Structure 1
C-alpha cells in the first residue's frame, strides 16, 4: 500500500483517531498536514511522524470557517506542491438531552463537524479538480449518525449529514476521478471515555491490558490504530473504484453499511388519506418499523 508522492491533510490530528490516521498515512509514504487547535499538541504530532522518518507539517486552527479550510489546502500546496488526500476528522462533543441543549451547544457541534467537513472538502475538491489527477475524500461519520443516540441531537445531526454529503460528493466528483467515502469508527478516544457500557474496556486499555474478544469482535471496539488501516486503504490506488460508501471499523470488525432504502411499499389509487393509511398500517407496515439506537449485544455471562 504505497502512498509515496501523495500529500494528505488530516483535520483534528493532534491526538486520538486523527493522529492514528496521520501516522498510518505517513508510515505508508504520504506527506501529512497535521491540524489541531493547540500548537503544542500539533507540534508533538508532527514530531511523532518526523522522528519515525516521515514528513509532516502543522497548521493550527479550528475547522469550520472557509479561512481555515483554505489555509489547510494552501499549507499542503505551498509545502509540497499538491494535495491528494483529505481526511475530515476534527470534532467536538456537547452532549445533553434535547430540552436542555442550548443554541450554543448545538451550533458548536454543527459548525465543527458538519460545516467544518463541508468547508474543508469544498476547498480540497476545488484544488483536486484543478490539479486534474483525481483524489481521495475521506469523511468521518459515527454509529450515532447511523442509528441515533440518547443525548446527542447535535452530534447525530452532524454525523448523519456528513454521510449524506459524502454520497452527494461521490456523484459530483466522479468525473474528476475523486472518490468520497465515510468511515464509521468505533475506538477508545476521549469521545468514548464517558460511554458507560464501554468503561471497563476503556479502563483496560488505559491500564495496558488486552481487550477481550467480545469487545473486539461483538462490539467492534478497539484502539485508534485498529481504525487507521481503513483510512489508508481508502486513500490508496487500491480503492480507486470505491466511492459513496459508509464503512464501519473497530477492533476486529470491518462492516459495510447499507444505504437507506424503501423496505415496504403500498399503492393506493388516487393517493392516500389519513384514514386509508390507518386502515393498512397495522397489517402492511407495523411489523417492519425500524428500531432507533444501536443495539448493543449483551456481554457473555461470567
Structure 2
C-alpha cells in the first residue's frame, strides 16, 4: 500500500479516530493536512506524524464554514502542490432526548457533521475535478446514522445525511474518477467513553485485559483498528469502490446495505385508509424493521471486572 506523492486532508484529526487515520495515511507515504479546533491538539498531531518520519501541517479552525474548507484545500495545495484524499471526520456531540434538545444542540451537531462534511467535500471535489487526476473522498458515518440511537436526534440526522450525500457524490463524481465512500467506525474514543456499556470494554483494554467479546461480537476496538480501512479506500487499489458504507471495528469488517424495499404489495386503484386498516398487518406485519443498535448482554465470563487491574 503506497500513498507516496499523495496529499490528504483529515478533519478533526487532533485526537482519537481522526489522528489514527492521519497517522496511518502518513505511514503509507501521504503528506497530511491535519485539522482541529484546538491548537495544542493540532500541534501534537503534527509532531506525532513528523516524529514518525511523515509530513504534516495543521489548519486550526472549526469545520462547517466555507472559509475553513477553502483554507484546508488551499493549505494542501500551497504546501504540497496538490490534493488527492479528503477524510471528513470532525464531529461533536450534544446528546439529549428530543423534548430536551435545544435549537443550539441541534444546529451545532448538524453544522459540524453535516454542513462541515458538505463544505469540505464541495471544496475538495471542485479542486480534484480541475486537477483531473481522480481522487478519494472518505466521509465518516456512524451506526447511529444507520439505525438510530436513543438521545441522538441531531447526531443520527447528521450521520444518516452524510451517507445519503456519499451515495449522491458517488454518482456525480464518477466521470472524474473520484470515489466517495462512507466509513462506519466503532472504536474506543472520548465520545464512546460517555456510554457506560462501551466504556467497560475500553477501560479493560487500557488495563491490558483481553476483550474478545467486544472485538468480535460488538466489533469494538481501537481507533487503529479502523485506520487500515481508511488507508485502503484512499489507495489506487480501491479505485473501483464508490458509494459504499463500510463498517470497521475490532476484528470485524462489515458492508452495510443500502435501504431497499423489503415487501411490495399492489392494489388496483391504490390504497385507501380502509384498505390499509384491513390489510397492512397481514401484508407487512412480519417484515417491520427494527430500530436502534442491538447491544447483546456480555456473557458472565466476558464482562470486564471494574476492579480488575486497578
Q: TM-score per shorter chain, which class?
A: over 0.9
2:304 equivalent in structure 1: none
* Pairwise CA distance, 1:205: 2.9
8 A contact 2:205–2:211 mirrored in 1: no
SS of alignment partner, residue 187 of structure 2: coil
- After superposition, the C-alpha distances for 1:257-288 in whole angstroms (9 at most, x for unaligned) are 00000000101111111111121111110110
* Pairwise CA distance, 1:31: 0.2
SS of alignment partner, residue 192 of structure 2: coil
Provide the rounded CA distance (Å) in 1 between the counterparts of 2:284 and 2:43.
Answer: 55
Range with bigger deviation, 77-86 or 190-199? 190-199
Query: TM-score, length-normalised on structure 2?
Result: 0.96
Name structure 1 gaps, 5 residues minimum.
Answer: none
Matched, 1:141 2:141: yes
Matched, 1:68 2:37: no
- After superposition, the C-alpha distances for 1:165-191 in whole angstroms (9 at most, x for unaligned) are 000000000000000000000000001
* Pairwise CA distance, 1:206: 3.2
1:122 equivalent in structure 2: 122
8 A contact 1:36–1:59 mirrored in 2: yes
- After superposition, the C-alpha distances for 1:83-110 in whole angstroms (9 at most, x for unaligned) are 0000000000000000000000000000
SS of alignment partner, residue 193 of structure 1: helix
Number of equivalences: 301
1:189 equivalent in structure 2: 189
Root-mean-square deviation over aligned CA pairs: 0.7
Range with bigger deviation, 269-278 or 258-267? 269-278
1:104 equivalent in structure 2: 104
Provide the rounded CA distance (Å) in 2 between the counterparts of 1:279 and 1:48.
Answer: 64
8 A contact 2:204–2:211 mirrored in 1: no
Provide the rounded CA distance (Å) in 2 between the counterparts of 1:45 and 1:180.
Answer: 25
Superposition map of 1:1-302 within 5 A? 1-207=1-207, 209-302=208-301
8 A contact 1:137–1:180 mirrored in 2: yes
8 A contact 1:201–1:211 mirrored in 2: no
Provide the rounded CA distance (Å) in 2 between the counterparts of 1:210 and 1:222.
Answer: 12
SS of alignment partner, residue 34 of structure 1: strand
Provide the rounded CA distance (Å) in 1 between the counterparts of 2:66 and 2:11.
Answer: 14
Provide the rounded CA distance (Å) in 2 between the counterparts of 1:235 and 1:210.
Answer: 33
8 A contact 1:211–1:222 mirrored in 2: no
Range with bigger deviation, 13-22 or 271-280? 271-280
8 A contact 1:106–1:154 mirrored in 2: yes
8 A contact 2:220–2:249 mirrored in 1: yes
Query: TM-score, length-normalised on structure 1?
Result: 0.99
* Pairwise CA distance, 1:211: 3.6
8 A contact 2:33–2:56 mirrored in 1: yes
* Pairwise CA distance, 1:193: 0.3
8 A contact 2:95–2:151 mirrored in 1: yes
* Pairwise CA distance, 1:196: 1.9
